[in-house]
Structure 1
Amino acid sequence: MKVFRTLSAAAIVAGMTLAAPAAWAQSKTIYIGMNGGPMEKAYTSQVLPAFEKANNVQVTVVPGTSSDILAKLLANRAHPQVHVAFLDDGVMARAVSLGVCEKLEDSPVLKELYPFARMKDDVGAGVQLGMTGIAYNKKLFAEKGWASPTSWLDFADPKYKGKVVFQSASSSTFGLHGLLALNRIWGGSEQNVEPAFTKWPSTVGPNVVEYIPNSAKISEMVQTGEAALFPLTPTGVADLQDKGLPVAYVNPKEGPVLLLVDVCVVKNNPDDQLAQKLAQFLLSAPAQEKAAEAGKQIPTNRLAKMPASMQQSLGNIDDLVHKVTVVDWNAINAHRAQWDTRWNQQIER
C-alpha cells in the first residue's frame, strides 16, 4: 500500500502547476482538499487507505480551511490542483454558485444519504453531519452549582456574565450559527437579522468575556476557567474531551443548527472518473463508519453505524436530525458581507 502525503499549497503550486493534466492521470495520484488536524488524521489513517489499495492510487491531502480550499479552486479554475474537496456547507454554497463543482454521478449511495445531505441537482453531498449546539465547562458549572444549559437563550442569562465565549460571527460558522439561532428565537430569519443585532448588546453581549475568531482558543480558556459557555459541535466537544478537558455538549431545546461538511468533485479536474469514484466511496456506509471510529465524524449515510460511545453520547441520530435547524445559505451568502461589517462595527467594536 502506498503512503499518504500531506502537501502545502506552496509545494503543490511549485511542483505541479507546470505539469500537464495527462501526467497527473498517469501517476495515479489524486488530491483531496480538507480541513487539517483531527479530520485529516482520521481520514488519512483509517478511511482513505482502503480506497488507495482498491484502486492502486496514491492519495495526497491538501489541508486548509474551507475558505482556503475554495480560494485555491477559484485561482486554478482551468487546471485545478485538487480533484475532490471537502467544504463546510456555507462555503460549498458559494463554490456551487461560482461554478467550481460538477454534478455527482448517479449512484445507489446517494439514496442512502439523509435527504438534507443531498444538494440540489446532486452537485455535492454531505459527507459529515454536524450540528452547532451548546458546549459548557462541567467543572466550572459544578463549582458554581449551575444546572446544565438547555436553551440558546442561556447565552443571555445574566448569571453567566463574563463567562460566555463566542466565536466571531464574521469569521466562524459556529458564531454565525449562534447568532442566527438566537435571531430566530427573537422573531427573525435569514432574510431579517434585525432582531439579533438589536437585542444582542443588552442580552448576550454583557455576558461575553471574549469574541474569538475561531475555536482554537477554547481549550485554553476552559483550562483557565474563563470559558463557561460557548457554541460548538459534538465532534468539537469530543476533541476537547480527548484532551482531558471537562466539557460537555447539549442540544438546545429549540434545536441545534445543522452543519454539514460537503464533498464536491471539482470541475475540470484531471481524472474525473477517479474523482467521482472517490466521492462515492467517501459517501458510502463503510467509509463513514471508519470516519466515525477514527475521528468521531457523524455519518450522513443512514446505513452507517457509529461506535457505541458515540451512540450513547448523541442518542438516536434519526430522531436528532428531525430536530435540527436548517439555515438558508443562499440567503446568508447574499447578505454576509453586510452582516460581517455590522457585526464588526456594532458587536465586536
Structure 2
Amino acid sequence: MKNSDKRIKSAHTIIKQSALVLAIACAGAWSTPSMAQSKTLYIGMNGGIMEKTWVEHVFPAFEKENNVKVVVVPGTSSDILAKAQANKDKPQMHVMFLDDGVMVRAIGMGLCEKMQPSANLNEIYPAARFKDDMAAGVTMGMTGISYNKKMFAEKGWAPPTSWMDLADPKYKGKVLFQSMPSSSFGLHGFLMFNRIQGGNEKNVDPGFKAWPSKIGPNVLEYIPSSAKVSEMMQNGEIALAPLTPTSVAVLQDKGVQIEYAQPKEGSVVLMVAECVIAKNSEPELSQKLAAYLLSAKAQEAGLQYGSQIPSNPKSQAVGDIAQSRLKKFVSYMENAVTVDWDAINANRPSWNQRWNRSIESK
C-alpha cells in the first residue's frame, strides 16, 4: 500500500471515530430525565418484615416515579439513632424510621428537620403528628401480650387478660421478656407493671421493688429484641411475651401458633415514626419520600403485605384477613394508653443502669 493510500485510510478512520464520539455526546445532551443517572436515598429502619415489605411493595412506585433508588440501612431504633447522631454534621442517611419514644429523643438532639406541609400529612391521625410536625407516625400499633396458642390449648389455660398474668406462678420459667434498655416492648411492659404497682413514669420505684418477687421468677430469659419469640414459641419454651398485634400477625402468617391478648389495663400505644434528617444531601427529594410514605397508597401496601397498621385512616384494607386485623386494631385503641416520653427520656439512662444492676444481673 502506497503512503498516500495509508494517509487516506487513516483520515477515514479518524473521521469515523470523531463521528462516533460526537454521536455519543449528542445522545447524552439530548437524553430524557428517565435516562439520566438516578439518585439514591438512604433510609434507616428496622430490618426483617418491615424492610422486606417496604423494599418489595412500598418503595418501587416512588422509585419509578422519581427515578431514584431507595436503600435501607437496617437496624433497631437505637442503632439508627446512633448512626444519625454520629454523622450529624454530614448525614449518611436521608430519612429515618424510629419508635415514637426514640423519635422524641432524635428531635431533641436536632437530628430532624420540620416536615413540609402536604395533603398526606394532613390526612394522618392527629395523634400521629409530632409537635411542630418535626416527625410523623407511619405505622400505628400497641404493645400488649402475646401467648403460645398451642401451649394454652394443651394446658387448658384461659387466654391472658392482664399485665399481671405475667406474674402468675403457673407461668414460672415460661415468660420471655425483652430487655428494657434496648426494647420498647420491654419498656412498655415494665411501665404498665409499674403503674399497677402504684407508680408512674416519674416514679418507677414501685415497679423496680416489686419485679424481683412477682414477674422476675417467671422470666426464662431477657432478650435484646423480639427475634427469638417465634423460635421459642414454636419450641414450646415460652408461654407469654410482650408483643404488638402486628408482630403477632406476621408470625401467624408464617404458621406460628401465637395469639395476641389485649390487657384490661390497656396496651401501650407504639408508633413507628419517620423524620427527614437535618442537613441531608437531598432535602427536597427526602421531603417528597417522607410525604409519600404517609399516603394511603403507600400504607395500603404496608398493611396488605406486612400487616403494618396505617396512620392514614384513608387507607383501605384488601381482603378479609386485613379487614379483620384493622377492625381489631381499632377496638384495641379503645383502652390503649400513652406514656410520658419526656419523663422517660429524661430518666432512661438511670433506669437502664438500675435495670441491668437489679434485674438482669440477678
The TM-score normalised by the length of structure 1 is 0.89
1:298: how far off? 0.5
Q: Of residues 106, 124, 127 in structure 1, which corresponds to 2:135?
A: 124
Corresponding position: 1:163 with 2:174: yes
Q: Of residues 204, 213, 216 in structure 1, which corresponds to 2:224?
A: 213
Corresponding position: 1:134 with 2:140: no
RMSD, matched Cα: 1.6
Q: 2:274: which partner in 1?
A: 263
* Alpha-carbon distance in 2 for matches of 1:92, 1:263: 8
1:311: how far off? 3.0
Match of 2:338, SS state, is: coil
Q: 1:16: which partner in 2?
A: none
Corresponding position: 1:300 with 2:295: no
Corresponding position: 1:321 with 2:305: no
1:328: how far off? 1.5
Following TM superposition, the consecutive aligned residue runs of length 4 or more in structure 1 with deviations greater than 3 angstroms are 316-320
Q: 2:190: which partner in 1?
A: 179
* Alpha-carbon distance in 1 for matches of 2:169, 2:329: 33
* Alpha-carbon distance in 1 for matches of 2:180, 2:82: 20
Judge which range, 303-312 or 160-169, deviates more.
Answer: 303-312
* Alpha-carbon distance in 1 for matches of 2:326, 2:170: 28
Contact 1:219 1:245 in 2 (8 A): yes
Match of 2:117, SS state, is: coil
1:28: how far off? 2.1
Corresponding position: 1:94 with 2:101: no
* Alpha-carbon distance in 2 for matches of 1:234, 1:43: 19
Q: Of residues 329, 333, 355 in structure 2, which corresponds to 1:343?
A: 355
Judge which range, 235-244 or 306-315, deviates more.
Answer: 306-315
Q: Which has the larger radius of gyration?
A: 2
* Alpha-carbon distance in 2 for matches of 1:201, 1:83: 43
Partner deviation per Cα, 1:175-199 (whole Å, 9 max, x = no partner): 1110001111222111111111111
Contact 1:298 1:306 in 2 (8 A): no
What is the one-letter code of the residue matched to 1:310? Answer: A
Q: 2:4: which partner in 1?
A: none
What is the one-letter code of the residue matched to 1:342? Answer: R
Partner deviation per Cα, 1:6-61 (whole Å, 9 max, x = no partner): xxxxxxxxxxxxxxxxxxx9752222111111111100111111111111212222
Partner deviation per Cα, 1:55-83 (whole Å, 9 max, x = no partner): 12122222222222112211222221111
Percentage identity across paired residues of the two chains: 61
1:233: how far off? 0.8
What is the one-letter code of the residue matched to 1:345? Answer: R
Corresponding position: 1:44 with 2:51: no
What is the one-letter code of the residue matched to 2:122? Answer: K
What is the one-letter code of the residue matched to 2:294? Answer: L
Q: Of residues 21, 24, 40 in structure 2, which corresponds to 1:29?
A: 40
Q: Of residues 45, 48, 62 in structure 1, which corresponds to 2:73?
A: 62
Corresponding position: 1:112 with 2:123: yes
Judge which range, 143-152 or 316-325, deviates more.
Answer: 316-325
* Alpha-carbon distance in 1 for matches of 2:107, 2:63: 27
Structure 1 residues 342 and 319, CA, compared in 2 at 3 Å: closer, same or farther?
Answer: same
* Alpha-carbon distance in 1 for matches of 2:331, 2:227: 30
Partner deviation per Cα, 1:76-109 (whole Å, 9 max, x = no partner): 2222111111111121111101001000011122
1:319: how far off? 4.2
Gaps of 5+ in 2: 1-35
Gaps of 5+ in 1: 1-24
The TM-score normalised by the length of structure 2 is 0.86
Structure 1 residues 138 and 320, CA, compared in 2 at 3 Å: closer, same or farther?
Answer: closer
* Alpha-carbon distance in 2 for matches of 1:226, 1:325: 30
Q: 2:284: which partner in 1?
A: 273
